[in-house]
A and B are shown apart, each in its own frame.
Chain A
Amino acid sequence: MKDKLIEQLKEILEVEDREINLEDKFREYEEWDSLAYLSVIAMIDEEFDVVIETVDFKKLLTVDDMLQAIESRMK
């Protein structure tokens, strides 16, 4: 799960050659913008069949938060 999410994030942000860690604050990535945001929502829906409402998504800070949000909605 974790690996899959990180893999997908790397692809969206086009940073295949860089490390993405769970504690990273994803909004601080230089590559994070409104299009990346939409791509991440689409990817989470596609890959994990989960929709995170925007009010909840706005509370997420780190990659780990994102992972937890997905896992809790998959159950």
Chain B
Amino acid sequence: MALQSISNVKISGISACVPKFKESNVNSPLFQSAEDAQRFIDNTGVEERRIASEAICSSDLCFHAAEKLIAEIGWDKSEIDCLVFITQTPDYIVPATSCGLQHRLGLSEECHTFDVTLGCSAWVYGLSIIGSLLSSGWMKKGLLLVGETTSKTKSKTDKTTYPLFGDAGTATLLEYSPESPAIKMHSGTDGSKQLSIYIPDGGFRSPVTKESLEMVEVEPGLTRNRLQYIMDGAQVFTFTISKVPKSIKKLIENFEIDQDQVDYFLLHQANKMIVDKIAGKFKLPPEKVPGTLKLYGNTSCSSIPLTIVSELNKQVRNKHLRLIASGFGSGLSLASAYFELDKIVCPELFEIE
């Protein structure tokens, strides 16, 4: 079982950035009627989302989130020893986007830098990765960038995905800190369902051809090409409601965490049905499960840090909090973590154009 307890590391700051442009699902022409749109909103919880313009990439959102966070925390950029960027929407196929970000952010050439491809489990996996890098104390400070502009991957006529997802970028700073409580994790994978969220062409299994661009009517009113995202919502949903509660349970049981002592449960903001379902299995009151679906939609890997920045800003800056986070999605991949935040640096959520 993939359990981890990462000692000597703490999260020192979190920030998030969203594109300024809003798109609403209320009365959206994507749906057959206003009632249909409302039914979508009621079930998914998504009223509006932020959509990145052509000029804004995931790396841009993360860059601005990082600049703001580093400025506010007051670290010297040369002290940042490692940078990990997790996204499914990189700048280029080659090279790793994180390398460009190292330069753009003005980080040291001594910075240990790489990309990881993961979806909605990314932020929790990122804690594991940077946590493990820092735990020995050889590297002291790390920057985790997690962001996505998934709107760029969707067919605008695909009402099963397009109105659900929003764009956002986040930055998280971690540092070596021997006196801090351990970050505890459970993670897992079910690759038998790897094609339940995927983009068919554009990789090397199925390279781009002229046919990749052909718009095909998948069902009445829904056209999509092979460079666009396909989601088998039912399969993802079934995976989520059966595996995510088990993952959180394993985390709680193996590390003997007292559920009542946990201040907030940060569940990946997949959609309202999923969040309610998981929260229901642990009998969590709504106030313990903050969320950002209504105004930002499913922001993929960004949803957990975005929720911290947007919904818990005052609390994380002023209090000591015990938190459980669980991310789950494409892969299918999932990871749950218990961690504590002790008066971290957390700039207000901001927009870029």
Instruction: Please give the residue numbers on chain A whose beta carbons come within 8 Å of chain B beta carbons, in ascending order.
Output: 34-35, 37-39, 41-42, 45-46, 51-54, 57
Q: Report if B77 contacts A (CB, 8 A).
A: no
What count of chain B residues pass the 8 Å CB interface test? 16
Q: Smallest Cβ distance from A42 to chain B, in angstroms?
A: 6
B241 A35 Cβ-Cβ under 8 A: no
Binary contact track B237-261/A, C-beta < 8 Å → 1, others 0: 1100110000000000000000000
Q: Which residues of A contact B194 (CB under 8 A)?
A: none
Q: How far is the CB of A38 from chain B (nearest CB, A)?
A: 5
Whether B277 is near chain A, meaning CB under 8 Å from some CB there, is: yes
Residues of B within 8 A of A (CB): 39-40, 43, 160, 196, 232-235, 237-238, 241-242, 273, 277, 280
In whole angstroms, what is the CA distance A25 to B235 when docked?
A: 21
Residue among B39, B232, B237, B280 with most chain A CB within 10 A: B237
How many angstroms from the CA of A71 to the CA of B40 in the assembled complex? 31
Q: List chain B residues, Cβ under 8 A from A41.
A: 234, 237-238, 241
Main secondary structure of the interface of B (DSSP, over half): helix
How distant is the Cα of A45 from the Cα of B240 in the complex, in angstroms? 12
Contact A34 B234 (CB under 8 A): yes
Residues of chain A with a CB closer than 8 A to B235's CB: 54
Asked whether, in the complex, the Cβ of A37 is within 8 Å of the Cβ of B234, the reply is: yes
Are B160 and A34 in contact (CB-based, < 8 A)? yes
Take A34-B160, A34-B234, A54-B235 as given contacts and tell me if A45 and B40 are in contact as well, using a CB distance cutoff of 8 Å: no
Q: Which residues of B contact A45 (CB under 8 A)?
A: 241-242, 277
| 5 pairs of A and B residues whose beta carbons are closest in the complex | A54-B235, A51-B242, A38-B237, A35-B43, A37-B234
* B237 contact set on A, CB distance < 8 A: 38, 41-42
**Cβ of A29 to closest chain B Cβ, rounded Å:** 15
Question: Quick one: closest A residue to B242, CB to CB?
Answer: A51
Given contacts A34-B160, A37-B234, A57-B234, contact A42 B241 (CB under 8 A): yes
- List B contacts of A37 (CB < 8 A): 233-234
Shortest Cβ distance from residue B281 to the other chain A in the assembled complex, whole angstroms: 9
28 pairs from A and B in contact (CB 8 Å cutoff): A34-B160, A34-B233, A35-B39, A35-B40, A35-B43, A37-B234, A38-B43, A38-B234, A39-B43, A39-B273, A41-B238, A42-B241, A42-B273, A42-B277, A45-B241, A45-B242, A45-B277, A46-B277, A46-B280, A51-B238, A52-B238, A54-B196, A54-B232, A54-B234, A54-B235, A54-B238, A57-B234, A57-B238
Q: Is the interface of A mostly helix, strand, loop or mixed?
A: helix
Q: How far is A51 from B43 in the complex, measured between Cα atoms in Å?
A: 20
In whole angstroms, what is the CA distance A42 to B196 when docked? 18
**Most chain A C-beta atoms within 10 Å of own C-beta, residue among B39, B196, B238, B273:** B238
Q: Nearest CB to that of B44 among chain A residues?
A: A35
Chain B proximity of A34: nearest CB distance (Å): 5
Residues of B within 8 A of A52 (CB): 238
B238 near A53: Cβ-Cβ < 8 Å: yes
- The residue on A at minimum CB distance from B239 is A54
For A53, the chain B residues whose CB sits under 8 A away are 238
When chains A and B are docked, how far (Å) is the Cα of A38 from the Cα of B232? Answer: 11
What's the nearest-Cβ distance from chain A to residue B31, in Å?
Answer: 11
B242 contact set on A, CB distance < 8 A: 45, 51
Which residues of A sit under 8 angstroms from B196, Cβ to Cβ? 54
Q: How far is the CA of A35 from the CA of B164 in the complex (A)?
A: 12
In angstroms, Cα B242 to Cα A45, docked, is: 9
Known contacts A46-B277, A51-B242, A54-B235, then 7 further A-B pairs from the complex at CB < 8 Å, ordered by chain A residue: A35-B40, A35-B43, A42-B237, A45-B277, A51-B238, A52-B238, A53-B238
Question: Smallest distance from the beta carbon of B303 to chain A beta carbons, Å?
Answer: 19
Query: Would A51 and B232 count as touching, CB distance under 8 A?
Result: no
Which residues of A have CB within 8 Å of B232?
54
CB distance from B196 to the nearest CB of A (A): 8
In the complex the two chains form, what is the Cα distance from A52 to B233 in whole Å?
Answer: 14
